[in-house]
Amino acid sequence: MSGQRFLVTGGAGFIGSNFVHHLVARTDATVTVLDKFTYAGNAASLDGLPADRVTTVRGDICDTALVDALVRDADVVVHYAAESHNDNSLRDPAPFVATNLGGTFALLEAVRRHDRRYHHISTDEVYGDLALDDPARFTERTPYRPSSPYSSTKAGSDLLVRAWVRSFGVRATISNCSNNYGPRQHVEKFIPRQITNVLCGERPRLYGDGRNVRDWIHADDHSSAVLRIIEAGRIGETYLIGADGERDNRSVLEMILTTMGESVDAYDRVPDRAGHDLRYAIDGSKLTRELGWRPEHGDFARGLRATIDWYRENERWWRPQKAATEAQYRERELQP
Ligand code: NAD
Ligand code: TDX
């Protein structure tokens, strides 16, 4: 792994930027970030990184000429770039199809041409959802059953990767991770939305009855798992990444409120998300068994406190996005 050149797509987003920081801290790799800087990309997320090791290119993963040149100059490609928000995909699926499917296709063709190692970042949402009272969890063998435009385009992108491995011998691995939390997550997402609502004096918003369960993992743990897979994962394999962090949305919201010194019921219930997945749950035992990976941030209450502190201390990072994000949510709440 020494001295390798990484191309990280979506490296100005929440999880991609976490991985770039992780890579710089834990390896001697050099990194090129390819990011379109959509509403979700934030240059400040890459602040403090050494200029002699990290280069940022503003561009689209659907731009085949640009992608070809950048892939040619890399040893390893790690593909994070995506349209990532379910609610947005319900309002306008078009960019999800273009970026998540078209962009992955462009990258796969380039890694095929140049025979580069490729790691594909995906989500547990490709497996659909589980019943609240079902003891089952997702494994690498669970059939694909995505629900939303977002998750169906991620599922399609995973299938492209599998086909390129089998048909063209592309050296790829795939990881499907559960819900991430931590610093630098866009304020459209559940946890940062509620934290910043409280900081702005706005009431948090819970969809439906709040019984939906998400399996939370700290973004630092996601990054260490991805690096481990790149170092030691078997080509062609899929690895699920999770940290046994199942919690229902209402409990998470109540934890945010109490941690921030608010009354436990100081939130509003708003109309449910269309097609809202009930429960996600990851069985991550393959990754532990095969590659010896374990999460280091298993204490959710502690991770949440640190995340709340980060949003308190980094208002300059999130404030510019807050008003526009909430304006879009207000439109959604007004829809019949
Ligand atoms: P994000 O929305 O915070 O960041 C996405 C980044 O991709 C942004 O910087 C954006 O500018 C960039 N981007 C979007 N379209 C692009 C394009 N056409 N070309 C180049 N760059 C483009 O997303 P995130 O939450 O950091 O998610 C990153 C990846 O991890 C996604 O592939 C997502 O499916 C996956 N994932 C996310 C979670 C989660 O909980 N957030 C969980 C599992 C997997
Ligand atoms: O205001 C809200 N109120 C609310 O109750 C918002 C924004 C969300 N929710 C609920 C919906 C979900 O059940 O909270 C849960 C989490 O919502 P999101 O943060 O939108 O995440 P989710 O839809 O679970 O998808 C996330 O995890 C899997 C990421 O956005 C995806 O990119 C990832 O693949």
Closest-approaching ligand to the CA atom of 225: 1
Using one digit for the tens of pLDDT, what is the confidence trace for 45-80? Answer: 999 999 999 999 999 999 999 999 999 999 999 999
Contact status, residue 179 vs residue 222, Cβ threshold 8 Å = no
Q: Indicate whether residue 123 lines ligand 2 (CB < 6 A).
A: yes
Q: What tokens does 44 get?
A: 């400040």
Return the best residue to mutate from 8, 15, 180 for the ligand 1 pocket (most ligand atoms within 8 A of CB).
15
The reported pLDDT for the residue numbered 2 is 80
Annotated active-site residue 124? The verdict is yes
Question: Would you call 125 a catalytic residue per the annotation?
Answer: yes
Q: Whose CA is nearest to atom 8 of ligand 2?
A: 190
User: What pLDDT, on the 0 to 100 scale, is given for residue 335?
Assistant: 73
Tell me the mean pLDDT in the region 133-162.
98
> Could you tell me which residues are beta bridge partners of residue 7?
32, 77
Rg, C-alpha atoms of the chain: 19
From atom 9 of ligand 2, which residue's Cα is the shortest distance away?
Answer: 190
At residue 71, the 3 state secondary structure works out as: helix
Output the pLDDT for position 17.
99
pLDDT above 90 coverage of the chain, percent: 97
Q: Is the pLDDT assigned to residue 215 strictly greater than 90?
A: yes
CA distances to 129, 175, 273 from 114, in Å: 37, 22, 42
pTM score > 0.90 for this model? yes
Q: How far is the CA of 2 from the centre of ligand 1 (A)?
A: 27
From the candidates 109, 125, 215, 220, give the one annotated as an active-site residue. Answer: 125
**Angle formed at CA 169 by CA 151 and CA 117, multiple of 5 degrees:** 70
Provide the pLDDT for residue 336: 61
DSSP 8-state symbol, 272 = P
Whether 35 and 58 have beta carbons less than 8 Å apart is answered as yes
Q: What mean pLDDT value characterizes the chain?
A: 97
* pLDDT (average), residues 11-23: 98
Predicted confidence at residue 4, as pLDDT, reads 97
What pLDDT was estimated at residue 331? 87
> With 80 as the cut, is the pLDDT of residue 203 above it?
yes
102 alpha carbon – ligand 2 mean position (Å): 24
Select which of 150, 181, 239, 311 is catalytic. 150
Give the residue from 157, 150, 89 showing the smallest Cα distance to 120: 157
Task: For 274-323, write each residue's pLDDT tens digit.
Answer: 999 999 999 999 999 999 999 999 999 999 999 999 999 999 999 999 99
Cα 66 to Cα 7, 34, 58: the distances in Å are 12, 9, 10
Both tokens of 316, joined, read 């300059």
Q: DSSP readout, 168-214?
A: H---EEEEEE--EESTT--TTSHHHHHHHHHHHTPPPEEETTS--EE
Taking residues 22-42, report their average pLDDT: 98
Q: CA 65 from chain center: how many Å? A: 26
| Cβ-based neighbours of 326, under 8 Å, separated by 6 or more | 202
Closest CA to ligand 2's atom 14: 190
Q: Which segments of the chain does DSSP mark as H helices, in order?
A: 14-26, 64-72, 86-91, 94-96, 104-114, 149-168, 190-200, 219-232, 249-259, 285-291, 300-313, 315-334
The mean per-residue pLDDT over the stretch 80-96 comes to: 98
The terminus-to-terminus CA distance of the chain in angstroms comes to 54
Residues 6+ apart with CB under 8 A from 91: 328, 332
Q: Supply the pLDDT for residue 334.
A: 77
190: Cβ below 6 Å to ligand 2?
yes
CB 19 within 8 A of CB 45: no
Of the listed ligands, the closest to the CA of 157 is 1
Is residue 249 within 6 Å of ligand 2 at its C-beta? yes
Query: Which atom of ligand 2 is the closest one to the Cα of 214?
Result: 24
The position carrying tokens 């934890």 is 255
- pLDDT-derived band at 143, boundaries 50, 70, 90: very high
In ligand 1, which atom is closest to the CA atom of 181?
40
With cut-offs at 50, 70 and 90, classify the pLDDT of residue 127. very high
Burial of residue 303, with CB atoms counted within 10 A of its CB: 0-12 exposed, 13-18 middle, 19 or more buried: buried
Written as one string, the DSSP assignment of 215-241 is E-EEHHHHHHHHHHHHHHPPTT-EEEE
Query: Which band of pLDDT confidence, cut at 50, 70 and 90, is reported for residue 333?
Result: confident
Tell me if residue 140 is catalytic. Answer: no
How far apart are the CA of 212 and the centre of ligand 2, in A? 10
Which ligand is nearest the CA of 20, by number?
Answer: 1
- Provide mean pLDDT across the span 150-157: 98
